[in-house]
Structure 1
C-alpha cells in the first residue's frame, strides 16, 4: 500500500486497515494493531509523523472496545 507522507492519516483509515487485517488473518485486535504498526509505521512512531501516530492510537482505542 502506498501512503502519501504529506498529510495526516485519520482514525477512520486506521480502523478500516485494522479491520481488514483482522478479517484477512483472522487475528485479534492486538495482533492487528501490531501488524499495522509494523507495516505502516515500520515499527517507528514518527515514520508517518507524530499526528498520524496519535490518530493511530485513537483508532486502536476505538476499535478495541
Structure 2
C-alpha cells in the first residue's frame, strides 16, 4: 500500500515539474470518456482589459 502511494506521489511531482500538469489532465480527460460535441457558440469568456481600472495611489504606513 505504501508503494502505491509513493508511486502516485512521484507521478504527481514529475507531472508538475516537467509537464506543467498537462499529463494529469490528459489522463483524467481520457478516463472521463469522449468529449460531447458542442452545437452552440464557442467563444472565449469576456475578460475586462487590465488598463481600464483607475489606478489608486498607495498609502504609506508609518
Task: Give your verdict on TM over 0.5.
Answer: no
Q: Which structure has the higher relative contact order (CA within 8 Å, separation 6+)? A: 1
TM norm structure 1: 0.30
Greater helix fraction, Structure 1 or Structure 2: 1
